[in-house]
Chain A
Amino acid sequence: MTLLSVSGLSLGLKHHEELLVRDLNLTLERGEIVGLVGESGSGKTMGSLALLGLLPPAVEVRAGEAALDGASLLSGSGGAVHRRTGDITMIFQNARAALNPTLRIGFQIRRVLTAVRGMPRREAEAEAIRLLGRVGIPGAARVARAYPHQLSGGMCQRVVIAMALAFQPQVLIADEPTTGLDVTVQAQIFDLLRDLVAETDASVLFITHDLAAVAEMCDRVSVLFAGQVMETAETVELFERPRHPYSQFLLASLGAQAPERADQGESETADVGVVAEDRGVDFSLPGCRFAHRCPHVFDACNEFPPLFPAGERHHYSCFLGREIPVVTAARS
């Protein structure tokens, strides 16, 4: 049953014509982890901020709808919505920066409990310590009295996750939560997130540029480029049969291989054709945002491509339709 649905969401800078995010479509079911993949500046963070009503003052919603459990998320001007417990929250990339350096850890978790869940102070104090323990922080009581600068990056991210738990969201947006953390810590955070999803039946929108993380964590994934959704599919499907030239380029350039193919000895280094260097996207042009780099570009690409189906729960935004071969060039 669909928990979060975003349709046709478009965002733009105020007083400017061009769109930052264009026709974003996403769905999230209960208990799912969906990945949102793209390079920096592709609009992944911006789109998510829109869902929380936390867009920066310079950005506005131009079109589209977003609803959580049926209730619209976009009503009210950005920032005016006082968020209630049980809906949607977000954790960000730089965890230490996400914590107020002059407030104690325990207090920062406690205030979410008192403000949003109406918990009395005594209870909130105890609950905060319990949550710190739940996210795997040793010596929770001591850490609760500490300040953020005294903790490591990984610990800070756990604290932020504890804050999110205090909020008890139905949907958690995790925006590059492990960038900058070392690999072992990264794995621990992933495990933590997976456990929490299993426990609470919450859904996670996992934003990242790291395809390996996607392979590990996500049930489904959407590929974003310059604010345009290029392809959406189940993870395995995307890795095995990427349809959009951009997805193919991503997978090829990052050397990602679907495990089965590697076993069969076929090189998945696809013959994607030459993808032009990034000269910067011209956001004012109406057509496909990848057109200026796409090796298969042709006339139709001057119009904005709708989503074409490519299989069960697999769509991509490209006029090549079924004409482009599935990418597996056996190298001799």
Chain B
Amino acid sequence: MNRFLLRRTLTTLITLFGIVTVVFFLVRVLPGDAAVLRAGPYADAARLAQVRAQYGLDRPLLEQYGTYLAGVVHGDLGTSTVSSSSVTYELMGRMPASLEIGLYAVVLACLIGIPLGVLAAAREGGWIDRVVRLVAAAGSAMALFWLGLLLIYFLFYRLRWFPGPVGRLPSGVDPPATITGMYTVDALLEGQPDVAWQAARALMLPVLTLVIVLVAPILKMVRGSMTEVLATDYVRTARAMGLSRREVLFRDGLRNAMLPVITAIGIVFGYMLGGNIIVETLFSWPGVGRYANQAIKNHDLDALQGFVILVGVLYVLLNVVIDICYGLLDPRIRLGRRSN
């Protein structure tokens, strides 16, 4: 297990390093003068010189890289050309909003997807199985932006069940004091259940959009994994030795099938990180996704850079955690392969 951890840490560090490097040089690949891009097409010579000095653009490329790298390691992701404040600060400020959607979506998708996937595999060929397979297939071809609009049209415009895409809270409602930054949680902690409810209602449509898309890969993975496990020799032996279907389902099935599913959750998280941008743009949600979108429109390179690094780092760290969990749960990895 220790060797496994060591290797994993090493590869992770290399990958993280690679991410920062790639992003840095990618952005520098831009044709045209970096200073002009930052300062805008109307800047005069003096302004350009100022921008150059401010961003260190007149330094040799490698030195810029070194400075940037040093900065990243200290958590400094550069400065936004739009707001002139630290990118790190701005990203951190918007993280809770994105997390609120993302976490609820992933958790809900798992809560729905895992039991349904297990059920579909346990009753292979039954109607649940057929429905699950259909949903899983359809979900893989889904477009988030279209789905979101569809839901907005039917559930907001036609049925008025949910509020429109106006942000985290309706106007006139003040957000709770910041503890975690997630309105639902903070409002409950502050003893403001009505605010929590308003925040929850605003969350429902964006979360629903994401959940529908995220459920598909989970269903597919759980059903597939479970079906495989139920067809193994050890399940067959357990049944031959008199154990009931239900016992085998829960003891052997769940335990062994969940291992690859944990890996799948990592993939789902990746979808979520990417889909976040679209969902936040669509629902005018003040999170990091919309920040990134605005950064693109404004040619705010540092901000965009910072966002991509953030996403990359999160994704890599998450996968490491998942691999470690997997290693802990599978005795073959945990104990190493030794024959007595």
A-side interface residues toward B, CB under 8 Å? 52, 54, 57, 79, 82-85, 89-92, 94, 97-103, 108, 111-112, 115-116, 143, 146-147, 149-152, 155, 160, 163-164, 166-167
Contact = CB atoms under 8 A, between A and B. Distances in A.
Given A98-B237, A149-B331, A112 B242 contact: yes
B241 A143 contact: no
A143 B339 CA distance: 11
A97 B234 contact: yes
B330 to A, nearest CB: 7
21 contacts: A54-B239, A54-B240, A57-B124, A83-B239, A89-B241, A89-B242, A90-B240, A97-B234, A100-B234, A100-B256, A101-B234, A102-B331, A103-B252, A111-B247, A116-B242, A143-B340, A147-B332, A151-B339, A152-B339, A155-B340, A163-B241
Contacts of A111: 243, 247, 251
B340 A146 contact: yes
Given A54-B236, A98-B233, A102-B330, A151 B241 contact: no
Nearest to A82: B244
Interface in B241-276: 241-245, 247, 251-252, 255-256, 259
Nearest to B240: A90
B66 interface: no
7 nearest A-B residue pairs (beta carbon): A116-B242, A97-B233, A98-B237, A83-B242, A100-B234, A90-B240, A147-B331
Nearest to B340: A150
Most A-side CB within 10 Å, residue of B235, B236, B237, B335: B237
A150 B339 contact: yes
Nearest to B238: A100
Interface of B: 124-125, 232-245, 247, 251-252, 255-256, 259, 329-332, 335, 337-340
Given A146-B340, A147-B331, 17 more contacts: A57-B125, A82-B242, A82-B244, A90-B237, A92-B236, A98-B237, A99-B237, A101-B332, A102-B329, A102-B330, A102-B331, A108-B238, A112-B241, A112-B243, A143-B340, A150-B335, A150-B338
A143 B236 CA distance: 23
B240 A52 contact: yes
A326 to B, nearest CB: 40
Contact of A116 (B235, B241, B337): B241
A25 B183 CA distance: 72
Nearest to A153: B339
B236 A115 contact: no
B243 A115 contact: yes
Given A90-B240, A98-B234, A79 B331 contact: no
A151 to B, nearest CB: 6
A83 B239 CA distance: 8
A54 B244 CA distance: 12
Contacts of B125: 57
Contacts of A143: 340
Contact of A100 (B124, B252, B337): B252
Contacts of B242: 82-85, 89, 112, 115-116, 167
Nearest to B255: A102
Contacts of A89: 240-242
A82 B235 CA distance: 14
A253 B335 CA distance: 47
B59 to A, nearest CB: 56
A166 B124 CA distance: 31
Contact of B232 (A57, A79, A97, A164): A97
A115 B237 contact: no
Contacts of B236: 54, 92, 98
A318 to B, nearest CB: 34
B262 to A, nearest CB: 13
Nearest to B243: A115
Contacts of B240: 52, 54, 83, 89-91
A102 B241 contact: no
Most B-side CB within 10 Å, residue of A143, A150, A155: A150
A91 B332 contact: no
